Amino acid sequence: MERFPDGFWFGASTSSYQTEGDNKGSALWDWEVKKGWERSGEAAGSWERFDEDLACLKKLGADAYRFSLEWSRVQPEPDRFDDEALARYAGWARKLKAAGIRPIVCFHHFSEPKWLLERHPEGWTGDQVGRLFLAYVEAAAGALDAVTDFIPFNEPMVFALGAYGAGIFPPGRLGFFSLPGGPVPAAGERLARAHNEAYALLKRLRPGCTVGVAHNVAALEPAKPGHEPACEVWDELMHLDFLERTRESLDYIGVNYYTRIFVSRAPWPVPLRCLPGYAEVEKALGPLFKLLGGRRDPGPRTGMGWEVVPEGLERVLLKLWRRYQKPLVVTENGVAAAEGVDRAAFLRDHLAAMARAMDAGVDVRGYLYWSLTDNWEWGTYKPRFGLFTRERKAGPAVELFAQVARERRPPKGKKGKGGVHG
Ligand code: BGC
């Protein structure tokens, strides 16, 4: 690929709960204590330090910034929207725009108000929460006059799985996650419906705006020959089902890509049907993981315990393009620091993988690195994804990022594993 096409979004992503700090109105605030997690506390302090974040974006030469609104700040009580909070977010968007940086606003990045689940403990497995979500989107979008790009949900299926299957996010339900008709697909279906309704609403409120989803898509591989059907089960549940339900309400598909996953056929026929080889699943199952046929490769790992597989990004982009023929945006891609992990190499190799997909004809419209600064990684500060530290000190990939932004051209890179030495 010669150069980024005109209008290509090149920037970074963050989320409110992970960066703003002191989000006491979120259901996650007490949840952290209940789970015994490391407290999010001040996070990256972005609620007070937005101007420093803006300075970081300028250093990068970024022309796009994806951030999320904290629902519990915008609507601290069921019947009250907070004009001051909305004015602050609207001010951020104006400052970004004045600096030539496109604000891309996400309305839901895992965090929900405490009052929401107190009133509706069934959450997204019931029909009330979607209605309330739309009222919040309507109030917030109305205030964000400088924003033309919206994302109703970040990783809806990761959220559905975390909240209604794996017990990670409030309300913390545990269950067989791939069970058809179970709470995870039920929540997924309602999240898709809310996306479609938010799309129609936003198009009506702000004609000409763009609306996408930031969808977590891993590069899946069957753990063994013969395990392809298990791989398809996981692909349907986590990737395709949501996209099928929302395909008419997506101006582009945003892809959050991090790594590859091997999927095994579970030794029991129902109701789980497959065993996805995430680092987190391996950790949760301990020795059982291997006994049940789980597969993870022994290669070097990031600070999340994830493999670095740049060509997986190429595969994922090609696959989604072939199936949907919709523009794609890499809405998240990044690496948590670890011994032997080279963030600049990771960035170079993933940009090269994206460029190969574009050369093959895939319509990619943007790349947003996760994350601008180190932040609270859902229960811990250990994994550090930031281009900048929480003190806003530039890390090792900032120079390369700024060079790519200046030249508007992905660096030349070979096809390879990249990003990890050794
Ligand atoms: C999420 C982020 C998270 C990142 C790294 C994505 O799944 O959207 O909130 O920090 O991955 O784990």
Give residue-wise pLDDT tens across range 214-266.
999 999 999 999 999 999 999 999 999 999 999 999 999 999 999 999 999 98
If phi > 0 it is left, if psi is from -120 to 50 it is alpha, else beta; for residue 155 that is left
Protein residue whose Cα sits closest to atom 12 of ligand 1: 377
Pocket of ligand 1 (CB under 6 A): 15, 18, 154-155, 158, 216, 256, 332, 370, 377
Name the nearest CA neighbour of 50 among 19, 10, 76. Answer: 19
271 pLDDT more than 70: no
- Compute the distance from residue 2 Cα to the ligand 1 centre, in Å: 30
User: CA-to-CA distance for 98 and 96, rounded, in angstroms?
Assistant: 5
- Residue 421 above 50 pLDDT? no
Task: Tell me what pLDDT residue 178 has.
Answer: 64
pLDDT computed for residue 419 by the predictor: 42
- Residue 336, SS3 per DSSP: coil
How far apart are alpha carbons 275 and 78 in whole angstroms?
Answer: 39
For a substitution probing ligand 1, which of 215, 256, 369 has the most ligand atoms within 8 Å of its CB? Answer: 256
Q: In what order do the strands lie in the sheet with 274-276?
A: 219-222, 260-265, 274-276
Q: What's the CA-to-centroid distance between 258 and ligand 1, angstroms?
A: 9
Q: What is the pLDDT of residue 415?
A: 59
Please report the atom of ligand 1 found closest to the CA of residue 155: 8
Find the 255 Cα to ligand 1 centroid distance in Å: 12
328-332 and 260-265 beta bridge pairing: unpaired
Atom of ligand 1 nearest to the CA of 214: 8
User: What are the strands, taking DSSP E only, across 227-373?
Assistant: 252-256, 260-265, 274-276, 328-332, 364-370
Over residues 263-280, the mean pLDDT reads: 82
Q: What is the tens place of the pLDDT at every residue in 307-341?
A: 999 999 999 999 999 999 999 999 999 999 999 89
pLDDT band at 343 (very low <50, low <70, confident <90, very high): very high
Residue identifier of the C-alpha nearest atom 9 of ligand 1: 15
**How many CA atoms within 13 Å lie on the side-chain side of 284?**
10
Q: Which residues fall within 8 angstroms of residue 79, CB to CB, at 6 or more apart?
A: none
CA atoms within 13 A on the CB side of 232: 4
Residue 300 to residues 45, 172, 184, 341, 385, Cα–Cα distance (Å): 32, 32, 32, 9, 17
User: Do residues 289 and 281 touch, judged by C-beta distance below 8 A?
Assistant: yes
Mean pLDDT of the chain: 94
Best CA proximity match to 169, nearest among 179, 155, 152, 182? 155
Give the mean pLDDT of 345-355: 97
Distance 266 CA to ligand 1 centre (A): 26
Can you tell me which atom of ligand 1 is nearest the CA of 371?
Answer: 10
In terms of Cβ atoms closer than 10 Å to its own Cβ (0-12, 13-18, 19+), residue 421 is exposed
CA dist., res. 95 & res. 406, Å (int): 21
Residue 420: is its pLDDT beyond 60? no
Taking the centre of ligand 1 as the mean of its atom positions, its distance from the CA of residue 322, in whole angstroms, is 26
- pLDDT at res. 413: 63
Give the closest residue to 169 by CA, choosing from 303, 61, 34, 24.
Answer: 34
Give the confidence band of 181 by pLDDT, cuts at 50, 70, 90: confident
CA 308 vs CA 165, 223, 300, 305, 333: distances in Å: 27, 17, 8, 10, 11
Instruction: Look up the pTM and report it.
Output: 0.96
Could you tell me which of 405, 403, 400 has the C-alpha nearest to residue 387?
A: 400
Give the Cα separation of 130 and 108 in Å (integer): 12
Q: Which residue's C-alpha comes closest to atom 5 of ligand 1?
A: 377
- Quote the crossing angle between the two packed helices 183-205 and 156-164, to the nearest 10°: 140
In this predicted structure, the answer to whether residue 176 has a pLDDT above a threshold of 90 is no
Measure 382 CA to ligand 1 centroid, in angstroms: 14
Question: In 3-state terms, what secondary structure has residue 399?
Answer: helix
CB 317 within 8 A of CB 364: yes
pLDDT band at 298 (very low <50, low <70, confident <90, very high): confident
For residues 345-352, average pLDDT: 97
Does the pLDDT value for residue 418 go beyond 50? no
The alpha carbon of 19 and the centre of ligand 1 are apart by a number of angstroms equal to: 12
pLDDT average, residue stretch 77-86: 98
Beta strands 9-13 and 364-370: pairing type? Answer: parallel
Task: Quote the ligand 1 centre to 89 CA distance (angstroms).
Answer: 21
